[in-house]
């Protein structure tokens, strides 16, 4: 019997309205995510989930923001 894969939690810092979309770098011990999306109508959060999913090679539905929905500092859960 095998154990199910545990969820991974990432602490991230988001920079909305950036010049480009990218994942990488470190800001205060958090993974830095830049997105061109504005923090309006949940567009930046959706863009962040899409970027992280592409960066980690998982499906978009496997990435979920669990804390910091209205903050630049967020906690993201990734199911593998």
Judge whether 61 lies within some domain.
yes
3-state helix/strand/coil string of the chain: CCCCCCCEEEEEEEECCCCCCEEEEEECCEEEEECCCCCCCCHHHHHHHHHHHHHHCCCHHHEEEEECCCCCEEEEEECC
Number of domain units in the chain: 1
pLDDT in tens, the chain (80 residues): 444 567 899 999 999 999 999 999 999 999 999 999 999 999 999 999 999 999 999 999 999 999 999 999 999 999 98
Range of the domain at 55: 8-78
pTM of full prediction above 0.85: yes
Judge whether 56 lies within some domain.
yes
Judge whether 36 lies within some domain.
yes
């Amino acid at each position: 019997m095998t154990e199910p894969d545990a969820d991974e939690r990432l602490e991230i810092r988001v920079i909305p309205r950036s010049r480009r979309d990218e994942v990488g770098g470190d800001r205060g011990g958090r993974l830095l995510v830049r997105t061109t999306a504005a923090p309006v109508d949940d567009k930046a959060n959706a863009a962040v989930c899409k970027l992280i999913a592409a960066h980690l090679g998982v499906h978009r539905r496997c990435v979920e923001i669990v804390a910091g929905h209205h903050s630049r500092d967020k906690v993201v859960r990734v199911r593998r």
